[in-house]
A and B are shown apart, each in its own frame.
Chain A
Amino acid sequence: MGDAALQQLRQEQLVARSRRGDAGAFASLIDAFERVALSVAYSVTGDGQAAGDVVQDAFLRAWQRIGDLKESERFGGWLCGIVRNVAIDAARAKAVRVRVARELHEEACGSGPPETPDLGPLDELGRREDCKRVAEALDVLDEVSRSAVVLRYYENLSSKQIAELLGIAPTAVDMRLMRARRQLREHLEGPESPACDGRRSGDLKVRYES
């Protein structure tokens, strides 16, 4: 049995033990899948701190619902679904908070929105121009392609592994990665891209409303 098969078997055993209430086994699953979960969360939220919050909540939800998982070998994809849903809810809630904050600011100052729409940890990106440009480049991608890119670059997963997590075909992953890389290259090597205003194309609409 190869290493990958052994690891898969071990993960299935951990899932089975977790379903029986073994918290230690579930903690091991957290260690094994944390990077994957962060990748998926980041691809939705676009923010590291928010991704960390999402992953924290998602694993707690997974622990509470692990009895619903019938097939242990599908734990990764099942977990990514939970992460994505939590991330979408978090992003929507944040958009509401941003809108409310903006309205309160306008009421208080009687002026337009603050010059920068960025709030929270995104401010850190401003200190590193390269990171900001890369993040802007990723922003242009649709959510699924962004997830594939992040899973490939951060977790170094194969197309087959990414396909299993995202629930799409491996050939679709390859195509998306190819297109995404081309877009990244055009964005990063082309003329200076406009300042990120937080808009995203694809499934998740506007994070910051103008």
Chain B
Amino acid sequence: MSRNTDQDNLDESDNPAEIDAAVRSMLAAELDPQRGRARRAFERHIASGGMSSNDVAMPIRQGRRHGWFIGAVGLGLAASVAGALLWALPRLSQPVSPSVAMPSHEQGLPGESTKTPAVMPDTLPSVLASDDSRWTEATSDVTTVLMPADTLVVEGHTPARFVRQVGMERREWFDEQRGVRVEAVVPREEVRLIKLDTY
């Protein structure tokens, strides 16, 4: 802590200087030999593997932080995909090549929750792989929801269904040795433009 150097605060007029000096001298004699003990004890505690209340939560917090990081990256990728699809709108008026998956009818109902296979790589995220722990993937699932769809008219004459699918992908790893569980939750967003047949 910073020390007060304002001598006026000591109000030395109350006490002769000798008394102040005697008190300081006694306290220094008593307490100065004790300095450094706490730090040495703390270092021994850490060296012997002493854990704080934070240590158990640390991998989980790290996992969540990295989960949110992964989530932010996933969201950015999804936004890029959506942007690319919107950029490709003019091409919807052209005949669909067999290589492009463009269903001619709606898929699913708005608001319906569906289960789809996980889309994240099966490998452990690098941030956990660098850890010494032995991680076992415990669970993995994706939950998606189809948002209410809008109908667009592309290039003035082609109707298309603008379908937005949002979801959460959750993956969980478990370290049996340390009894620590890490969960990564990644928000996903997928945007589709589905050409509508007109009659």
Q: Which residues of A contact B (CB under 8 A)?
A: 3-4, 7, 19-21, 23, 26-27, 30-39, 42, 47-49, 51-52, 55-56, 58-60, 63-68, 76, 128, 130-131, 134-135, 138, 149-150, 152-159, 161, 177-178, 181-182, 184-185, 188-189
Which A residue sits closest to B51, measured CB to CB? A64
Kindly provide the distance from the CB of B130 to the nearest chain A CB, expressed in whole angstroms.
17
B31 in contact with A39 (CB, 8 Å): yes
A-B contact pairs, 14 of them (CB 8 A): A20-B58, A30-B39, A34-B36, A39-B27, A48-B31, A51-B31, A59-B38, A59-B41, A68-B53, A131-B25, A134-B22, A134-B26, A149-B23, A181-B14
A34 in contact with B35 (CB, 8 Å): yes
**Which secondary structure dominates chain A's binding surface?**
helix
- Among B5, B26, B34, B42, the residue within 8 A (CB) of A131 is B26
**Which secondary structure dominates chain B's binding surface?**
helix
What number of A-B contacts does a CB cutoff of 8 Å give?
143
What are the residues of chain B within 8 A of A185 when measuring CB–CB? 14-16, 19
Using known A-B contacts A130-B22, A156-B3, A182-B14, determine if residue A51 contacts B27 with beta carbons closer than 8 Å: no
Does B28 make an interface contact (CB < 8 A)?
yes
A36→B55 CA distance, assembly (Å): 27
Does B107 make an interface contact (CB < 8 A)?
no
A52→B39 CA distance, assembly (Å): 11
A52 in contact with B42 (CB, 8 Å): no
A59→B16 CA distance, assembly (Å): 36
A152→B3 CA distance, assembly (Å): 9
B1 in contact with A33 (CB, 8 Å): yes
A178→B23 CA distance, assembly (Å): 15
What are the residues of chain A within 8 A of B35 when measuring CB–CB? 34-35, 38
What are the residues of chain B within 8 A of A189 when measuring CB–CB? 19
Kindly provide the distance from the CB of A1 to the nearest chain B CB, expressed in whole angstroms.
13
A152→B12 CA distance, assembly (Å): 12
Which B residue sits closest to A135, measured CB to CB? B26
